[in-house]
Structure 1
Amino acid sequence: MQCPKNFRKNMNPLPEQFQQTLVIHREVGYRAMEGTTLNNIGEVYRSLGQYPQALEQFQQALAIHREVGYRAGEGAIINNIGAV
């Protein structure tokens, strides 16, 4: 997944929307979407060249997707880890 160009131009290292989304998913216990949000945060860091931060997010996302059995998410995240 890639961030649209206009989004990348105007973003902070971690957009407020991702932080809010992550908090909400954690509050309601929606683990699969928590993992997806962490993956998206990893994509932001990767697009900014902040590879250690990207890997940290991808690894957290992968652990969650494995925990909940979301195999498609696992595959996408493994692909993203390979792209770092």
Structure 2
Amino acid sequence: MELVRCKKNVIKKLEFDFIESDPPKILFREGYFYPVFKDAYGVWMTTDEEGIPHVISESEDNPEQDPWFGVHFIKA
């Protein structure tokens, strides 16, 4: 298991058919550390503030190779 630090808040976004929550629900908070792990399919996962798992990188070798990960997280 590794740790990553959130570089900026990650807000829950719903599809256009749903009403967004107000205030927006923060999944990952800027500056907080989160443990990451690989699932059975080789994708990197972590749990949000409520303990719900989320994919944060689809790169099997290094999560930093995923562009979305690079915008929101950095390896600690």
TM-score (norm 2): 0.29
Higher strand share: 2
**Larger helix percent:** 1
* TM-score, length basis structure 1: 0.27
Higher relative contact order (CA 8 A, sep 6+): 2
- Choose 1 or 2 for highest CA Rg: 2
